[in-house]
Structure 1
Amino acid sequence: MEETTIKVKSLTPILRIFDVSMAKDFYLNVLGFSLDWEHRYGENFPLYLQVSRGACKLHLSEHFGDSSPGIALRIEVEGIEYFHKTLLSKDYKYAKPGLEVADWGDTEIRLRDPFGNKLVFYENR
């Protein structure tokens, strides 16, 4: 019997959203992600979309049951100080994140999206 290898290639988390305009404002305008695509099964159906920035892809869903609000993600970045300055320059009303050094040495920006999902952007040191 031939040995088979499985290569895990990527992870795309699904985050629950409740308001499309708030989600787009936060992920596109504040965090600088790009809108890759949107999908609805028909008129008056929930929206499902993909946003990305670099290699990071996130699915955002209005569909009940796709995910629970309040999950936590760690997203690795390079240039975290510049990213932090960029975030603060947006003057986003609902988040003024700090730049912290974790006990294990990573530099982190911690913030929540408008739906309670925790995003930790970090740079390995």
Structure 2
Amino acid sequence: MKPYGYSLKSVTPIFRIFDVEKAIAFYTGYLSFQVDWQHQFEENFPIYMQVSLNGCILHFSEHHGDCSPGAAIRVEIVGIEALYEELSTKQYKYAKPAIEVTPWNTKEMQVTDPFGNKINFYENM
């Protein structure tokens, strides 16, 4: 392996959002993330923000050119059944995810946010 003099680290996806309150309600209320920070150049400008849960960090942007709505990401998880149980108890009326066992030996559960962005939680078997 050729030494490059640098090392890549984690990826932070950016999801396009259209309503900060809906994003916060979904990601903090339903998925249990926490809001780390929000940035807005001035009042009545789009918001850029970060949420996190354990080691998973997501960025959200209301800025038109930052990203397209309807993106999809995969998040590796340990304990997918526990996440499923937690989400099932919340009775969120816009999402009823289920765990699927895939032919490539993972357990997967997809959740779609209010803006069409998809998070596919997966656990290797």
**TM-score bracket for this pair, using the shorter chain length:** over 0.9
Displacement after TM superposition at 1:4 (Å): 4.8
Say if 2:6 is the partner of 1:6: yes
Query: Match of 1:10, as an amino acid?
Result: S
Partners of 2:10 and 2:119 in 1: CA distance: 18
Output the aligned Cα RMSD.
1.0
Partners of 1:37 and 1:111 in 2: CA distance: 23
Unaligned runs of 5+ in 2: none
Displacement after TM superposition at 1:49 (Å): 0.4
Superposed counterparts of 1:22-101, under 5 Å: 22-101=22-101
Query: Match of 2:82, as an amino acid?
Result: Y
Partners of 1:88 and 1:67 in 2: CA distance: 30
Which residue is 1:118 aligned to? Answer: 118
TM-score of the pair, normalised by structure 2 = 0.95
* Alignment coverage as a number of residue pairs: 123
Displacement after TM superposition at 1:9 (Å): 1.1
Partners of 1:72 and 1:20 in 2: CA distance: 19
Partners of 1:4 and 1:118 in 2: CA distance: 34
Residue by residue over 1:44-63, the C-alpha shift from the partner in whole angstroms, topping out at 9 and shown as x without a partner, is: 11111000011110001111
Unaligned runs of 5+ in 1: none
Residue by residue over 1:80-100, the C-alpha shift from the partner in whole angstroms, topping out at 9 and shown as x without a partner, is: 001001011111110000111
Partners of 2:80 and 2:46 in 1: CA distance: 34
Which residue is 1:20 aligned to? Answer: 20
Partners of 1:112 and 1:103 in 2: CA distance: 22
TM-score of the pair, normalised by structure 1 = 0.95
Say if 2:103 is the partner of 1:103: yes
Partners of 1:32 and 1:124 in 2: CA distance: 22
Partners of 1:106 and 1:25 in 2: CA distance: 29
